Amino acid sequence: MRIPLSALIGLVMTGAFVLAALFAPWIAPYPIDAAVGKVWEGPSQQFWLGTDTIGRDILSRLIYGGSVTIFVALVSSLLSFGMGAFFGFLAATRGGWIDTGLSRLVDLMMAVPSLIVALVVLSVLPLNLTVLILVMGVLDSTRVFRLSRAVAADIAVMDYVEAAKLRGERQGWIIFREILPNAMSPLVAEFGMRFIFAVLFISTLSFLGLGIQPPLSDWGGMVRENKDGLVYGKAAALMPALAIAVLAISVNLVADWILQRTSSLKGGRGG
């Protein structure tokens, strides 16, 4: 198997982020909460990426914040895909009242403003990472459901699926063997997007108060902490934004590669 250069770059970068996140305490030059410099210092020998709004080292905070950012975004995206895709496929293949029930339930969930949902969760449930991941996963799964159902509805009426049904294959077999491989490409592309949205969503929820507790901060939250200097040439907010952008591009490079492989899995040309 030959890995194209772009995918390799993506894999290496994604890997580097994950490793840095895992070994944060050993790599980070400063503790996460120590105000070691002046406010918004520029990059220097001492502080490679400069200091933040109260003089903490940005590089160290990025490294520590990376683990929680990537972990929460990844787990919640996996959750939303697991739930969204499964129920979406189920609705499309079964049709009838299962389809109607699930689809209208999703309509209802999308229709209630997420601000209200988040605030209710805040007031009722304890605040910890599990709750944060669950909220993000469940809210996002509605979007995945819509996409999966639409894609699967097209596939479910294909001759080969009809044939499988006539053969008397089980529901699970049809979903996993017939529909999933053919729906893979749009889903992988969507995953690349959802992951990035999740990274940004953490900071929105943290801002509402449902999320990461200080001194730890996710990358989006770090952008927010330092945003006021942005227009006046203080680059502190750009560092975490850049980290998010590099992560976004890396993850999507990998997604592109998977997408190429899945679309050729179906036995077309060049497979």
Q: Does 3 bind another protein (CB under 8 A)?
A: no
Q: Does 14 bind another protein (CB under 8 A)?
A: no
Give the residue, chosen from 126, 168, 172, 268, that forms a contact with another protein under the rule CB under 8 A: 268
Touching another protein, residues 54-73 (CB under 8 A)? 54-55
CA pair distance 163, 75, nearest whole angstrom: 36
For the record, the structure tokens of 265 come out as: 């899995």
Chain-centre distance of CA 236, in angstroms? Answer: 24
Q: Does 228 bind another protein (CB under 8 A)?
A: yes
Give the residue, chosen from 60, 185, 198, 218, that forms a contact with another protein under the rule CB under 8 A: 185
For the record, the structure tokens of 180 come out as: 């999933």
How many CA atoms within 13 Å lie on the side-chain side of 87?
A: 22
For the record, the structure tokens of 33 come out as: 């909460």
- Rounded to a whole number of angstroms, the minimum distance from the CB of residue 170 to another protein is 22
CA pair distance 48, 187, nearest whole angstrom: 38
Per CB under 8 A, the segment of 11-19, 68-76, 118-126, 168-176 that binds another protein is 118-126
Touching another protein, residues 243-262 (CB under 8 A)? 244-245, 247-249, 252, 256, 259-260
Please say which residue, 59 or 91, places its beta carbon nearer to another protein: 91
Q: Does 237 bind another protein (CB under 8 A)?
A: yes
CA pair distance 115, 18, nearest whole angstrom: 31
For residue 181, the tally of other CB atoms under 10 A from its CB is 15
Q: Does 126 bind another protein (CB under 8 A)?
A: no
Give the angle subtended at the CA of 20 by the CAs of 19 and 23, to the nearest 5°: 85
Please say which residue, 1 or 231, places its beta carbon nearer to another protein: 231
- Rounded to a whole number of angstroms, the minimum distance from the CB of residue 48 to another protein is 21
Q: Does 196 bind another protein (CB under 8 A)?
A: yes
Q: Does 170 bind another protein (CB under 8 A)?
A: no
Q: Does 42 bind another protein (CB under 8 A)?
A: no
Helix (H, G, I), strand (E, B) or coil at 176: helix
Q: Does 108 bind another protein (CB under 8 A)?
A: yes
Size of residue set near another protein by CB under 8 A: 85
Give the residue, chosen from 1, 2, 45, 116, that forms a contact with another protein under the rule CB under 8 A: 116
How buried is residue 51: exposed, middle or buried, by Cβ count under 10 Å (0-12/13-18/19+)?
buried
